[in-house]
């Protein structure tokens, strides 16, 4: 099939006047396939987008050098899109002609990739999740073409990168806004420090948010800090009240240990009586296991 594509492209190229071939689609096949226009674009500075741009450039160059100009053009387009910081979607399973066993493995891998995105991988592991996406597209393209050795190598790269990203990306959707960098103490809304269920141990996202709140509080000694502790509704009312108090105490101690004057900190704890996410009594919800940190 690759040879047929090459011959078809060559015939069409000969039929087009030279003046009609100039422009953005100048490439390996005299303007028929755009396989390299994304290679020298200035990228956005966003690590995830830059990673996709670099990875897809390499894929485009690899496929083009093997005369697979259709996939060379596809991956070049993805590189260009990433350079513009636009959304680049990994290949859909239905876009490729796959053997049944490959289809099952790749479907599971694509679901795993999506879950990592939802868990905050772009925020906390942008390089690993970026190369995981590129490796997935490399894997699915090689599987369709029947290049089993290439598919295995790309699969192994995907599995390595996605495992690294998953190790860091354990945010819930309610944590992502808190995980993204803010402008400092004048940000809109509180810093949300999330905790594990029935525990005073912070989640990874909660730990990151508290570290950021401490840095911002130390940077401006004039701001006052108000902490409000919460619990979800999965336990008895009195127990949840004490749990929220313990969580508030944990945050207070962390702030004081970091050098924040205790006189700047005021606290309250509301247990399960003021949930952020409305639930029925007895329902666990990680969005309600939180200490709000307001700076005023």
- pLDDT tens per residue, range 142-180: 999 999 999 999 999 999 999 998 887 776 666 655 544
Domains of the chain in start order, with CATH, are: 2-168 (no CATH), 173-295 (3.30.1330.60)
**CA atoms 60, 66, 70, 71: torsion sign:** negative
CB atoms within 10 A of CB 71: 24
Per the listing, tokens 């590129």 go with 134
pLDDT score, position 84: 85
Pair of tokens at residue 47 = 């690590």
Q: What is the pTM of this model?
A: 0.55
- What is the residue-averaged pLDDT of the chain? 82
Beta strand 225-229 pairing with 290-295: antiparallel
Tens-digit pLDDT profile for residues 207-232: 888 998 999 999 999 999 999 999 99
Tens-digit pLDDT profile for residues 202-213: 988 888 889 989
Tens-digit pLDDT profile for residues 114-147: 988 888 788 778 899 999 999 999 999 999 999 9
């Amino acid at each position: 099939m690759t040879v047929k594509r090459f011959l078809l492209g060559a015939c069409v190229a000969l039929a087009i006047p030279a003046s009609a071939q100039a422009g953005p689609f100048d490439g390996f096949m005299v303007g028929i396939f755009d396989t390299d226009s994304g290679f020298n674009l200035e990228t956005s500075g966003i690590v995830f987008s830059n990673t996709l741009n670099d990875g897809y450039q390499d894929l485009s160059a690899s496929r083009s050098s093997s005369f697979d100009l259709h996939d060379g053009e596809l991956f070049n387009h993805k590189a260009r899109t990433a350079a513009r910081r636009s959304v680049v979607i990994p290949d859909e399973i239905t876009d490729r002609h796959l053997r049944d066993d490959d289809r099952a493995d790749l479907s599971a891998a694509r679901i795993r990739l999506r879950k990592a995105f939802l868990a905050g991988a772009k925020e906390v592991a942008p390089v690993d999740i970026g190369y995981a996406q590129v490796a997935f597209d490399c894997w699915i393209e090689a599987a369709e073409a029947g290049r089993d050795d290439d598919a295995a190598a790309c699969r192994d790269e995907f599995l390595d990168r996605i495992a690294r990203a998953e190790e860091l990306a354990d945010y819930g959707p309610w944590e992502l806004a808190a995980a993204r960098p803010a402008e400092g103490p004048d940000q809109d809304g509180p810093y949300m420090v999330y905790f594990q269920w029935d525990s005073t141990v912070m989640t990874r996202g909660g730990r990151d948010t508290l570290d950021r709140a401490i840095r911002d509080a130390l940077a401006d000694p004039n701001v006052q800090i108000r902490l409000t502790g919460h619990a979800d509704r999965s336990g008895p009312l009195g127990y949840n009240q004490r749990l929220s108090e313990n969580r508030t105490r944990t945050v207070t101690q962390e702030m004081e240990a970091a050098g924040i004057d205790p006189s700047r900190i005021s606290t309250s704890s509301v247990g399960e009586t003021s949930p952020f996410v409305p639930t029925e009594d007895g329902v666990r919800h990680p969005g309600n296991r939180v200490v709000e940190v307001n700076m005023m």
